[in-house]
Amino acid sequence: MLLTLTTVGFTLGAILLNRVEHEVAAGAEQEVNEFTQFAGVGIDPDTGAPFTDIRDLIRTHLQNQYPNENELLFGWSNGLIRQSHSVVGDPLADPAIVAAVVDAPGSVGTVPTAGGDMYWNKQVVRLPGGNEQGAFVSAYLVDREEAEVFDTIGLIAAVSAIALLFSCLVAWVVAGRILEPIRWVRQTAEEITEKRISRRIPVRGRDDIAELSRTFNDMLDRLDAAFATQRQFVDDAGHELRTPITIVRGHLEVMGDDPEDREETMQVVSEELDRMNRIVDDLLVLARAEQPDFVRPAPTSLAELTAGVHTKVQALGDRRWVLEAIGDEEVEVDVQRITQAMVQLAQNAVQHTASGDTIRIGAISGPDSATFWVSDNGPGVPEEDLDVIFGRFSRGSTGGAQDNTVGAGLGLSIVAAIAHAHHGRVWVRNNHGGGARFGIDVPVAAAAAGGSSRPAAGAGAHR
C-alpha cells in the first residue's frame, strides 16, 4: 500500500507540474495576444484618438489588466513601464533582470531571479508611421507556482500517511480478529497429544474460519474415536488373552516326559490357541466396526437372506430349526454382516438349549425398519443381565449352557456393533413360555414397496 501511495504521489506531482508549465505558458501567451489586439486597434479608449506614444499605449493597457498573484505585466520604451502591483521579492526591481528580458532576441524564455525562475513572453510593438519601438512582457514566477503544487502534494502526502497509519491500525485489529481462530487451531494442535486429544476449538460465527474450526474439530473427533478404538482393542486383548496364555504357560511348565502327559498338554495348548485365535478375530471385528466401511448396504431380498441364514445355522447343532416368518420385501442391508449377526445369535441359542430343542429364526420388514430375530426355548436371560448382556465380555449367567465351555463374551457385542453400524439397535426379551428372543432392528430404504410378511411353511406364529 505504501508503494502504491508513493507511486500515486509521484505521478500526481508530475501531472500537476506539467499542468503548471502549460498554464504558465498559456497565460503568458494570452496576455501577449490581448496586448497585440489592443495595439493593433491603436485607439485610446479614454480620448478616442490614436496613440502617438508607445509608453502611453503600454501604460493604458496595463491599467486595465489584473494579473494573478505570481504574474507580472510590464513594458519597456525608453525605460520600465509597470503597474503598481508587485510581488514579494519583486524581480523588476533588478534592472539586470529587466534588461535580460527586453534585450533577449527571442519572444519567450526563462530568466533566473532571487525568487526562482521567471518565465516570460514578449511582444515588440511599433506605432504606425513611427520609428520608436517598445515591448510588452507577460511573466510568471514559475517556482512560486510550482511551490503551490508541492504544498498540495505535501498535504496529500500527509493525509495519505495518516490514512495509511489508520488503515494499518484497522487492518492490524481486523487481521488479529480474523486470525485469532487460526491461532486457536495452532495452539490447540500444539497441545494435542495421544493422551490429550479432548481439546476442541471454540466455533464462533458462520464464516470460513468458523467452518475451518468445525472441520478441525471433526477431524479431532475422528482421531479421538480412532485412539479410543485402539486403546479399547489393546485393553480387550490384554484382558482376554491373559487367561489362555497363563493356561498354556502353566501346562508347558509342568509337562513331563510321559507321552500321554505330553499329548494331553498339547491338546490343551491347541484348544487354548484356537480360543485365542477366535478372541483376536472377534476383537478385530469390533475394532473394524468403528470404521465407516464396516458395512456396505445393498438392495437385498429379505426372503433370500432369511432362507440363506436358515440353511447355514442348521450346521451349528442338532436342533429343530424353524423358519418362523419371512418377508417379501427388498431391503438395503449388508448381507454378510447381517448373516454374521444372525449366525452369532443362533450359536448363542445352541449353547443354551439341548439336542432336539426348537430354535426359531425369522425376519420381517415394516415401513421404516427390518427386524431379524432368533428365539429359543432355553432357560432365558436373568432380569439383571438384560441391560448388560450386549456389552463386551459380558457373559451373563452361564448356568443354562449345555456345555462347559464359556465364550469370551464378545459374540453379542459383535451383534450389537453390526446393528449400530446399520444405525439400528439390538434387543432381547424373555418368552412367556420359556427361553429368550434376541433381535435386531435395522432402518432400511425399501427398494420395492407394498411387500408383506408371511409365515414360513410349517412355522408357528411369530411370538
Residue-wise pLDDT for 114-159, tens only, equals 888 899 999 999 887 767 889 999 999 888 888 888 888 888 888 8
- Bridge-based pairing state of the strands 358-365 and 320-327: parallel
- Separation in Å, CA 3 to CA 10, 155, 160, 164, 215: 11, 18, 12, 11, 38
305 CB-side CA count, 13 A: 29
Whole-angstrom distance, CA of residue 460 vs CA of residue 463: 9
Whole-angstrom distance, CA of residue 71 vs CA of residue 101: 15
CATH topology of domain 298-455: Heat Shock Protein 90 (3.30.565)
Residue-wise pLDDT for 334-361, tens only, equals 999 999 999 999 999 999 999 999 999 9
* Other CB atoms within 10 A of residue 178 CB: 13
pLDDT attached to residue 90: 81
Q: Is 348 exposed, middle or buried (0-12, 13-18, 19+ CB in 10 A)?
A: buried
Give the amino acid at 277. N
Whole-angstrom distance, CA of residue 38 vs CA of residue 144: 29
With a threshold of 0.75, does the pTM exceed it? no
In degrees and rounded to multiples of 5, residue 25 shows phi and psi of -65, -40
Share of the chain above pLDDT 70, in %: 86
pLDDT attached to residue 461: 33
Q: Find the DSSP H helices in 91-141.
A: 95-102
pLDDT attached to residue 233: 66
Which of 15-19, 188-192, 233-237, 306-310 has the lowest average pLDDT?
233-237
Higher pLDDT, 421 or 2: 421
Nearest Cα residue to 270 out of 242, 231, 288, 244? 244
Q: Residue 36 is placed in which grid cell?
A: 497585440
Nearest Cα residue to 178 out of 218, 207, 216, 214? 207
Residue-wise pLDDT for 33-87, tens only, equals 999 999 888 888 888 888 888 898 899 998 888 888 888 899 999 899 888 666 6
Whole-angstrom distance, CA of residue 89 vs CA of residue 308: 116
Contacts of 452 (CB under 8 A, 6+ apart): 327, 328
Range 361-380 average pLDDT: 91
Q: Residue 349 is placed in which grid cell?
A: 441359542
The reply to whether CATH 3.30.450 applies to domain 2-150 is yes
CATH label, 208-288, candidates 1.10.150.530, 3.30.420.40, 1.10.287.130, 3.30.565.10? 1.10.287.130
Domain positions in the chain are: 2-150, 208-288, 298-455
Whole-angstrom distance, CA of residue 451 vs CA of residue 209: 49
Question: What's the residue count for the chain?
Answer: 463
pLDDT attached to residue 459: 42
136: enclosing H helix or E strand: strand 133-141
